[in-house]
Amino acid sequence: MSRDSVLVTADWAEKNLGADKVVFVEVDEDTTAYDGGHIPGAIKINWSTELQDQVRRDMVNKEQFEALLSAKGIANDDTVVLYGGNNNWFAAYAYWYFKLYGHEQVQLLDGGRKKWELDGRPYTKDVPQRPATNYVAKDQDLAIRAFRDDIVPSIGSHNLVDVRSPDEYAGRLAAPAHLPQEQAQRNGHIPTAISVPWSKAANEDGTFKSNEELKALYVAAGIDDDKPTVVYCRIGERSSHSWFALRELLGYSDVRNYDGSWTEYGSLIGVPIALGDEPGQA
Amino acid sequence: MSIDGCGAPEQGAPLPASVDVEKETVITGVVSAEGGPVAGAYVRLLDSSGEFTAEVVTSPAGEFRFFAAPGTWTLRALSRAGNGDATVAADRGINNVAVSVGA
């Protein structure tokens, strides 16, 4: 897969604002950021209220996803360009989501909001109106999603990649440092998981590092090319960013995102946990 | 805060009542340039090895806030007014630190 087919530059994006069959979609950790200004013509998807089932803890199902995209005016043959704040964490999560439900043409805007703002590119508060469509999703592609019960059997046989910060990995912090400390019942990481913080895949301005830099990063961290890979973080959004780097940019074929992540695993009774900076034993 | 409550908290707001400053290590301050506070700056918190820990966008008054742990941290700000760094040795409670940026 070529990098250009999954990642677009801010220059490309600015030249293609308003292009036919191209829909810019902002998905942000801060769900109010869009309202204060966004890329002209972009629509918003709220990850918290629109990409999460509002009763059970899960993604929305196929019918809910179809209803959402239909209401947003996104058609099956549209090219969807996703971007957001916080180094595209939630935009990458949405990218994984669109792939999971089989959308054909989906891309990330490299650097997201941060690069766009630091470049001084235009913002608007105008909210576009898009006519509703009749979107048809595919069944979830479970080749890219890992579940709770997949994890313990994968210890020792898969590459497990923990993409949280080193302090979360070691168990010294329970959550990212811009949030009050909270979450899973226990701190630590899945035994044998290697620590490759998501941020190592990104430059300071939020763009992804080059394929050569990314490959060197994951090889040095000990990824075994012959094993399938599962990535996780706390709730599955930072790991979507690393999933994108591994599967979409580097072309590793068997990479699954464990969206239950640490908030689920760290609350399970009886599963093994490793503490400290080392991966630990299977 | 629930699992879904991951939205970046408003940076200028008073600390939520649920935050126990006896337990939390809060690192907070203002990003400023020659012309005054810088709104919309990207501030990242780097640990003692220089590794990224978190990032927030400053409020209209240039404020940022992190919940960390006691220890030495670096703050790195990127903005249209320029970039800058500051370090802080944080203890439990509120730790104030100013970050200056310039071209």
In tens, the pLDDT along A267-281 reads 999 999 999 999 999
Residue B3 lies in a domain: no
The domain locations on chain A are 3-140, 143-265
State the total domains in chain B: 1
Residue B57 lies in a domain: yes
CATH topology of domain A3-140: Oxidized Rhodanese; domain 1 (3.40.250)
pLDDT band at B2 (very low <50, low <70, confident <90, very high): very low
- Of all residues in chain B, the one with the smallest CA distance to A174 is B68
Supply φ then ψ for residue A167, to 5 degrees: -70, -35
Please indicate whether, in this complex, the C-beta atoms of B54 and A177 are within 8 angstroms of each other.
yes
pLDDT tens-digit map of A43-97? 999 999 999 999 999 999 999 999 999 999 999 999 999 999 889 999 999 999 9
Percent share of chain A, pLDDT over 90: 88
- Of all residues in chain A, the one with the smallest CA distance to B73 is A177
Contacts of A196 by beta carbon, 8 Å cutoff, 6+ apart: A161, A162, A163, A217, A218, A221, A242
Residue B38 lies in a domain: yes
According to CATH, the superfamily of the domain at A143-265 is Rhodanese-like domain (3.40.250.10)
pLDDT tens-digit map of A152-176? 999 999 999 999 999 899 998 888 7
- Known catalytic residue: A233? yes
Q: How far is CA B76 from CA A112, A118, A223, A252, in A?
A: 19, 15, 30, 33
Whether the pLDDT of residue B66 is over 60: the answer is: yes
Please indicate whether, in this complex, the C-beta atoms of B49 and A166 are within 8 angstroms of each other.
yes
ipTM tops the 0.85 cut: no
pLDDT tens-digit map of A199-236? 999 999 999 999 999 999 999 999 999 999 999 999 99
Residues of chain B found within 8 Å of residue A204, distances taken between Cβ atoms: 44, 76, 78
- The first and second tokens of residue B74, run together, are 């670096």
pLDDT at residue B4, rounded to an integer: 36
- Chains A and B: how many Cβ contacts under 8 Å? 90
Same fold, A3-140 and A143-265: yes
Whether the pLDDT of residue B6 is over 60: the answer is: no
Residue B62 lies in a domain: yes
Residue B5 lies in a domain: no
Structural domain span for residue B66: 25-100
CA distance B7 to chain A (A): 5
pLDDT tens-digit map of B53-63? 888 999 999 99
pLDDT at residue A176, rounded to an integer: 76
Q: How far is CA B38 from CA A30, A141, B48, in A?
A: 19, 44, 25
Contact indicator for A168, A238 with CB cutoff of 8 Å: no
pLDDT at residue B3, rounded to an integer: 37
Contact indicator for B43, B58 with CB cutoff of 8 Å: yes
Residue B77 lies in a domain: yes
Please tell me the least confidently modeled range out of B13-17, B31-35, B50-54: B13-17
pLDDT band at A16 (very low <50, low <70, confident <90, very high): very high
Residue B39 lies in a domain: yes
Per-state percent for chain B, helix, strand, coil, to nearest 5: 0, 50, 50
Q: Give the CATH number for residue B64.
A: 2.60.40.10
